[in-house]
Structure formats: structure tokens, C-alpha cells
Amino acid sequence: MIPVQREEARSHRPSGLRALLLGAMLVALPACGPRRPGLATQPVDALLVARTGVAAPRMRGVDSLVASDSVRAMLARPLTPDAVVRVTLLAQPRLRSLYEEIGLAQADVVQAGLLSNPLASVDRFTEGRFQEFSVALSFVELLRRPLRTRVARARLETTTLQVADAVFRAVTDARSALAETVAAEQSLDLRRRTRQAAQASATTAALVHQVGNLLDLDLASERARAAESDAAVLRAEGEAAASRERLVRALGVDVPGDSLRLPARLADLAGAMPPRDSLVALAVNSRLDLAAALSEINASAREVGLTSRFRYLADGSLAYSGEAEGSRMLRGPGLSVPLPLFDRGQARLQRAQAALRQAVARQEGLIREVRSEVRESLAQLDAAQRRATRYQADVLPLRQRVTRETQLLYNSMAIGVFGLLAAQQAELEAGQGYIESLRDYWIARYHLEQALGTRIP
Amino acid sequence: MSDFNHPSAVDRRTLLKSGAAAVGLAALGPRAASALAASTVDHQAGVVFAPGLPGRDYTPVITPNGAALPFRVVQGVKVFHLVAEPLQHEFAPGLTAECWGFNGRTPGPTIEAVEGDRVRIYVTNRLPAATSVHWHGILLPSGMDGVSGLSQAPIPAGATFKYEFTLRQHGTFMYHSHRDEMTQQALGMMGMFIVHPRISARRPDRDFVLLSSEWKVLPGARRPDPNEMLEFNVLTFNGKAFPGTAPLMVKQNDHVRIRLGNLSAMSHHSIHIHGHAWTLTETDGGVIPPLARWPEVTQLVPVGCTRTMEFIADNPGDWALHCHMSHHTMTQMGHSGINMLGVDAAAVDRAVQPILPSYMTMGTDGMGDMGEMGMPVPPNSTPMFGTTGPYGYIDMGGMFTVLKVRPMLRAGDEARWWEPPAGTLAQAARPEELARDGIIVEPSASPPAAPHHHPPPPTFQPDRPK
């Protein structure tokens, strides 16, 4: 049940991949009628698996006990990017509330398939005898039902895509938050080691000063540096704690941030840059918000069709009624329709047409944004990857070499212990730069994934 | 040795026929030598001397670690050839640098001639820069003085210039570049120029030449830094820093002459001899009359000067001969270190070793042991000083050498230490000696100093320089 695109949307008609995804989704879409809660998310899960490479856990809502056990088990081990996706899908209440949007849309589909109940009326007059009766059923609703159902299903498809988009963004944000948190922990560790070196320098300065070989000025400078390095540690501690809480919120779990177990270090660079020329096309095919915008055009077009077809016939019912004439009961059918004298449906049609034009414009704007976002994230990723490579291949080994060479100079008594500790601190500072570049690289990757709407090929 | 007079209006052919070396009057330059310059013969009357020969006219000097510049005699003129060129020079074992010098060495080979000789010195420039050579202290025509731009055009790279003059004095002189002196002398373009007297009352048994210079070569660097003005860290006798300096071998009761030259950029040197007093007999300006000579044990040799010292080596043993400026007997000593004397080394180690496992506190009781610690140091650098001697480590470097005076000189004595006769060696005092002489050593009130060696932890793996 591929939605028919309007002419204006045809130019952005998705190619095979999206058709396949939509097809898969629509096959899985419940046709109509009430569903057990929980199954509504299946199409979303399918969309996510293709995009995150993580099999979505199949327990939500009713299986909350099982889910919470499983979350606990995952939190007991150091979090990996994949575990972060699973935990978020299982535990994040914001996602559960998002999924209910699908439930609402499904209810609308069911509602669209239902007929209004027939109206029965009985009139009784003063003699206390039954005088009149009638049973009326809206025949217009009966005519409108197939179209109305189709509109509601189109809306359900739109909602499903919007929800899947929001969920994909949420799990990718959670991966980003993990990278931030691990980087903050590593930075904290480096700041502590820098502090240790600065304090060793200050301790040595105090010992040298104590025996009369050092100026008060130099001792004060060393102490100032040690105190500054301690201040840097305090700042890094705050940042690490805050980023742990940001990760807690991204996961949607109910544990204190300091209980989260993290990997010891950020993952290394993930290989070569993706082929850039195919990426914009990939994004156009994969972005769920773009698919949702197309689906919105489809739903709005159906709404216009429905509105214009029943423009003059907003309502109308068939009735069967009877009346007691003395002892005789006179019976017969009746028809009632509103005469389109004043309300000829023009406002309803105008509204539906405006909504359609709005949906088209939104989709056009979005596709332009998508293309630019892909280029932007690609530029960021490229720069971050080259920067991290520079640190890995040159800055770090050179800084280590500087420390080694300084140690040799110290051994030959060409320089003193303070120069040696300063070299060590410069090496730690380079490590800090490397961690930041690696963190920026991973965050740029997740940004690119969000811009593409799927995994980087 | 023959000298003969010519009439002042001698014609050239007559001279050549006589078979003697001919010197045109015009080539004599100034009519008279500087009044104070040392001279043993009369240069006034157009006297022409046959070239002086080693062994017959003079005893050649000894240039420890150096060489003599060979010459050939062409038509009565001594012809020398100096080649200015870049070279690799070793200051001491383990310390080599890219220097500039003459004929593959720095200092260049010692030029030796005799008063009255006519010398012709070709200078070929194989340097990447123009150069010139100044004959320091020698009296000669202005155009032969070698000052680039003033007395001659610079010698371009690749060119060969000819210097020619008659030596009208004797003494200890030097030669060095006189173009871009700051760079070219800092890189080693210098040498000694010895002129022996034509007539000598008494020749010394041993005649040594020591030229001092100073360099800036950072540990691990490969080229002297000519921009340095103050912090020279390699100080040399004949281009060598101890233990690279060859000892001066002397037989007991020899009459020894030591000619000291100084072409350091910025440092005068106080050269101190152990075990003997010596006498300043000559400067580069001439011979000091005997009554005016100074007995010394330490002779100041200012920059750009030579000082000739003589003594009878009557005291057998191994004697230090060195510059008495303390920092001139260190090699590659850094001056930017921290004074660690008296610091609690163990406490510093405890603070620093967790961060730098190969760290070890040094210098808390001085630096006498630094050279023998065997810590890994930068490539192409030396420990600050020293080598192993007969009684432990000799913690000297730089301008330090050993004068070995022996009753008999045997092959291999250079490498043998003096064995002092009984009773002539300082040793720990025995208790009975202390008691006999009433020496009471109070037990020290303060605790003994902490051991100064804190070997790095066993995990210490020095990085191999790549």
C-alpha cells in the first residue's frame, strides 16, 4: 500500500530503498481494528534496526519487569554504544510516550472505520400512548467511510515515521552523550595526572627552597601552577559529573550518574571517510523526517480529496419512521439532507488545501536542509578525523619524544628537574588535545548519522 | 745554516747563480722589523737565508693531538698549502661536531718555519663561504695580513689565494680566519704558526704547542653555535676536551717549553701547571729579557695572545695541566639546571618518580660523581667530565691534560699511571698516627648525609634514541 504521491511531490519520490522500507513498514502496519499494545512499535523497530544496526529489544510496556531486569544487566557492564541504544529503547519514558502517538493514530484509524450508531427516536404524547417512532442512519458516513479510513491510515503512516525519526535521533543523541561522558572521564584522569606532576614540581621547589637554593618568586610560581592545576581538576570533576547526568537523562534510566559504568577510553578512529558523493542521495532515501514529510503530503492530499468529494453533502441520513393515526400505524422511509445554502463546504476545502500546500512547502524546505546538513556534518567529520589523526600520528609521539629527550638532557645535567616535569606536563596537555579531538570525531560521526538518517556506510 | 751578505744593489741573476735562495729587496716589505720583535739575525742588509731545516736548524715542536703542516722547498722558498674545508671533528670520545678547519683538522696543522725563511702559503677555499687567513702576530707587508676587505679581497669559495712573505722575527704566532670571524673561528678555523730563531743559544728538549679555544655544542646537537657569546660549554686544548687530550710526555730533568695560544671567542684562560713552577719567557710580541721574566705556576693567556713558558721537569709524576677557570674544566655543563645541593633527594624522588619512573635526583651533594653514573644521555654528548684514573674517577673535563714526567720514557707510558714511591701518597690516617699527633676527631653531631645515589627503579628502561 504505497501512498500515491501528488504531482508536486513526485520529483522527490524516494527510490527503491525507501519504497522497500515503506513497503516493509506498511506490510507490518496493522490494517485496522484494535491491537494489543506493544505491537504498534514493530514498524518503528524495523526502521531502527536498519539504521542503527542494533536489534531493538522486543519488550516494552507490558514486559516492563523483564525490560528493567535487562536494563539492569546492561548497566552492570561498561556501556558500549550498542548497549546505549538498547537501554534507551527499553528504559526511556520519553520514547514510551512517543510510541503512544502511534497508539493515538491507530485509534483514529479504528474510529474512521466505525459507523455512527443509528438514531432511534420515540415520541409519546399526552394520552400516554406511543405515538411516533423513527430509526435514522447517516448514509453519508457510510459513503465516506472508505475514504475516511484511508486518510486515517495515511496519518498513521506519517505518525509512525515521525516517531521512528524521533527515536532514531534519541538513540543517536544517547551515543553522543556516551562519547562526551567517556571523554570527560579521560580528561579528568589526565587533569589529575597533570596535577600530580605540578604538585611534584611544587614539592621539589619547596625542598630546594628549604635548603636555600631557590627564590621565593620561583617557589611561589611553582605553587601557583600546582594550585591552578588543582583548579583545573575541580573543573574537570564538575564536567565529568554533569556529563554523567546528561547521559543518565539520554538513557532515561533512574540511577545516579556516578553509578554508570563506562568504557576506559573512547574507541579509536573508525577507518576511512565514507564516499562523499553518494551521501546526499543516501540521506534523501534514509531520512525518516523526510519520509514523514512526504507521507504528510500524501495524507493532506487524501484529506483534500475527501473534503472536496463531500463538499456539498456534509451530512445526510436515511430514516424509517412510523406514526400512529388513531389505531393505524403509518410507516415509511425518509431522507434528510442539509441544503448547502450557506455552508457549501468552502471553508473546509480551503483549510484542507492550505494544509496540503503547507505540507508541500515543509517537505521542500526540509530536503534543502537535509542536503546542507549532510555537507556540514561531512566537513566537520573530515576536519575532526584529520585533527585526531594528526594528534595520533604526530603530536602524541612527538610529545613523548620530547619528554624522553628532556630526560636525557636532565641526565646530562643540562637542565633541572623543573624543566623535566614541565615536559611531562606538556605531554599530558597533548593527551588532553588528543582526547578532545577524538571526542569531536565521534560526535561529528553521530551528527553525520543524524544528517543521513542512518548508519554511515 | 749559512747566511751571507749581498751588496744592496745586487742583481737578480747573480743571486740565482750563487745557488742561494734569492729574495728581491722589494719583497722584504718594511725596511726594518718592529723594534721589539724577537730577532737573532740582521734583516736590514738584504740578507737572504737558505730555508731552515728540521733537526739541523730547529727541533720541531710537538702539537699534542695535532699535526705539522708539510712543506716543500721551491727555488729557496718554503711552500705550504692550507685547504680550508668543513670536517667532522671529535672533541672527546662520544662528542663529534661538524666543524670548519684546515687540511681536515681543527686546529689546522701547525706551520713551522725559521726566522729569515721566505714562505709561500697557498690557501684553497673549500668552504661554502668566502674566507681569508690572517697571520696573527707576524710582521709582514700590509697586503699579506689577511684582513678581508681591508688588506685583501676575500677568497671566494673554490678559489686558491697565495700569500708570500719573509719571516723577520721568531716566536709563537697563530693563524686564523679573518673573514666573518665570529662564525669561522667559532667553527674552528685557526692554527699555530711557530717561527724558530735562526740562531739559538739553547733548544728545549721538549717543545709543546697548546692552542685554546671554546665552543658551544648543545648535548645532542651536531654543530657548534657561532651565535653564542657567553655560555660556551666545550673548552679545548688543540681541539680536544679531556679525556680526549693526549698527555704531554716528558723525561725527568728535560728542559720543557710549552707555547700557549688562545683563540677562544670570549674567554681568557689561566693555565695552571702542577708540580712545577714555570717561567714566562716570551710573548707573541717577542722575547722577555731574562731579568724581566716572571716565575709563575699559573699563566694568564688573554684572548688573541700567545705565552711561552719554560721549566725544568725535575719532579716525576702525573701532573695536571689545566685552565683554572672551574667551568673551563667541564664539558657540556648546563648552566640552566637547579642548584640541588643539600636538597633531600629521597623526598624529591618520592614526589617525582611516580610520574617519571626513570627520574633520579642528582647533584644534592655536588656533581663529583655525575660523570660515572652511566645515566643515558643524549646522542653525541659526553658525560660532563672525566675518565677513570688510578684512584677513582677523575672528575675533570674540558681544558685539562696530564703532564707525565718519568725518569725514563718507555713505549706505552702514555697509558700508564705514576706509581708513587712509598710515603709519597696521601691515604686515610691510621688511628695510631692520629693518636701520636694528638689529632682528636670529634664524632659528628649532625647525621651523615643521605646517600647521594638513588638508582632509578628496576623498571627503568632508557629510551634508545631513534
**Which tens digits make up the pLDDT trace of A205-254?**
999 999 999 999 999 999 999 999 999 999 999 999 999 999 999 999 99
DSSP-derived pairing of the beta strands B294-296 and B278-283? antiparallel
- Could you please report the per-residue DSSP string of A136-188? EEEHHHHHHHHHHHHHHHHHHHHHHHHHHHHHHHHHHHHHHHHHHHHHHHHHH
For B382, nearest residue in chain A (alpha carbons): A412
Peptide linkage before A30 cis (omega within 30 of 0): no
Size of interface A-B (CB pairs under 8 A): 112
Range with lowest mean pLDDT among A28-32, A195-199, B227-231: A28-32
> CB-based contact (8 Å) between A217 and chain B?
no
pLDDT at B130: 98
pLDDT at B369: 65
Mean pLDDT for B128-132 is: 98
pLDDT at B358: 84
pLDDT at A261: 97
Res. A284 pLDDT band, cuts 50 70 90: very high
Res. A58 pLDDT band, cuts 50 70 90: low
- Which site among B231, B336, B338, B453 would you substitute to test the A interface, given the most A Cβ atoms closer than 10 Å to its Cβ? B338
B276: Cβ contacts below 8 Å, ≥ 6 apart: B297, B311, B312, B313, B314, B315, B319, B403
> CB-based contact (8 Å) between A193 and chain B?
yes
Enumerate the residues of chain B whose CB falls inside 8 A of the CB of residue A409. Answer: 219-220, 334, 378
Mean pLDDT for A41-52 is: 82
Q: Are the beta carbons of B120 and B226 closer than 8 angstroms?
A: no
Q: Are the beta carbons of B144 and B28 closer than 8 angstroms?
A: no
Nearest to A204 among B220, B348, B354 (CB): B348
Mean pLDDT for A23-32 is: 40
CA–CA min distance B321, chain A (Å)? 25
φ/ψ (deg, to 5) at B404: -105, 110
Q: Is the pLDDT of residue A203 over 80?
A: yes
Peptide linkage before B107 cis (omega within 30 of 0): yes
Q: Are the beta carbons of A284 and A368 closer than 8 angstroms?
A: no
Mean pLDDT for B336-345 is: 85
Nearest to A204 among B332, B341, B352 (CB): B352
pLDDT at B373: 67
Residue B324, CB half-sphere, CA atoms under 13 Å: how many? 10
pLDDT tens-digit map of A68-78: 788 999 999 99
Bin B253: left if φ > 0, else alpha if -120 < ψ < 50, else beta: left
Q: Are the beta carbons of A93 and A252 closer than 8 angstroms?
A: yes
CA–CA min distance B231, chain A (Å)? 12
Quote the percentage of chain A above a pLDDT of 70. Answer: 87
The C-alpha atoms of residue A393 and residue A400 are separated, in whole angstroms, by 12
The C-alpha atoms of residue B7 and residue B25 are separated, in whole angstroms, by 11
Nearest to B362 among A197, A211, A413 (CB): A413
The alpha helices in B121-249, defined as continuous H runs, are: 181-186
Q: Are the beta carbons of B58 and B200 closer than 8 angstroms?
A: yes
Range with lowest mean pLDDT among A190-199, A271-280, A427-436, B5-14: B5-14
Q: Is the pLDDT of residue A22 over 90?
A: no
Radius of gyration of chain B (CA): 26
Q: Are the beta carbons of B240 and B382 closer than 8 angstroms?
A: no
Write out the three cell numbers for A105. Answer: 493514530
The C-alpha atoms of residue B66 and residue B105 are separated, in whole angstroms, by 8
Average of per-residue pLDDT values in chain B = 87
> CB-based contact (8 Å) between B262 and chain A?
no
Write out the three cell numbers for A44. Answer: 518503528
For B384, nearest residue in chain A (alpha carbons): A412
Q: Are A211 and B343 inside 8 Å of each other by CB?
A: yes
CA–CA min distance B373, chain A (Å)? 9
How far is residue B285 CA from its own chain's centroid? 19
Nearest to A412 among B219, B354, B361 (CB): B219
Full-model pTM: 0.77
Range with lowest mean pLDDT among A270-279, A429-438, B49-58: A270-279
For B344, nearest residue in chain A (alpha carbons): A207
Residue B42, classed as helix, strand or coil, is coil
Res. B88 pLDDT band, cuts 50 70 90: very high
Mean pLDDT for B337-363 is: 88
Q: Is the pLDDT of residue B15 over 60?
A: no
Give me the amino acid identity at B423: G
Residues 309-348 of B with CB under 8 A from A: 332-334, 336-344, 347-348
Write out the three cell numbers for A216. Answer: 621565593
Q: Is the pLDDT of residue A6 over 70?
A: no
Residue B67, classed as helix, strand or coil, is coil
Range with lowest mean pLDDT among A92-96, A222-226, A329-333, B442-446: B442-446
Write out the three cell numbers for A355. Answer: 494544509
Q: Is the pLDDT of residue A37 over 70?
A: no
- Among B455, B445, B292, B433, smallest CA distance to B362 is for B455
User: Where is mean pLDDT largest: B24-28, B336-340, B408-412?
Assistant: B408-412
CA–CA min distance A404, chain B (Å)? 7
pLDDT at A434: 97
pLDDT at A53: 83
Angle, in degrees to the nearest 10, between helices A16-28 and A139-210 = 110
Residue A226, classed as helix, strand or coil, is helix
- Among A316, A359, A166, A207, smallest CA distance to B346 is for A207
Res. A198 pLDDT band, cuts 50 70 90: very high
What DSSP character marks residue B58?
Answer: B
Res. A21 pLDDT band, cuts 50 70 90: very low
pLDDT tens-digit map of B234-281: 999 999 999 999 999 999 999 999 999 999 999 999 999 999 999 999
The helix (run of H) or strand (run of E) holding residue B190 is strand B190-196
Angle, in degrees to the nearest 10, between helices A139-210 and A216-251 = 160
Range with lowest mean pLDDT among A11-25, A98-112, B355-369: A11-25
The C-alpha atoms of residue A163 and residue A93 are separated, in whole angstroms, by 14
pLDDT tens-digit map of B68-79: 999 999 999 999
Q: Is the pLDDT of residue B387 over 60?
A: yes
Q: Is the pLDDT of residue A65 over 80?
A: no
Mean pLDDT for A146-155 is: 94
Peptide linkage before B462 cis (omega within 30 of 0): no
Greatest CA span in chain A, whole angstroms?
131
Q: Are the beta carbons of B229 and B266 closer than 8 angstroms?
A: yes
The alpha helices in A391-416, defined as continuous H runs, are: 396-411
The C-alpha atoms of residue B103 and residue B66 are separated, in whole angstroms, by 11
pLDDT at A94: 94
Q: Are B338 and A408 inside 8 Å of each other by CB?
A: no
Mean pLDDT for B415-443 is: 94
pLDDT tens-digit map of B155-174: 999 999 999 999 999 999 99
DSSP-derived pairing of the beta strands B286-287 and B278-283? antiparallel
Give me the sign of the Cα torsion angle B91, B96, B100, B105.
Answer: positive
Enumerate the residues of chain B whose CB falls inside 8 A of the CB of residue A208. Answer: 338-340, 343
- Among B144, B332, B87, B151, smallest CA distance to B234 is for B332
Residues 375-434 of B with CB under 8 A from A: 375-378, 381, 383-384
> Which residues face B286 on adjacent strands?
B283
Quote the percentage of chain A above a pLDDT of 90. Answer: 65
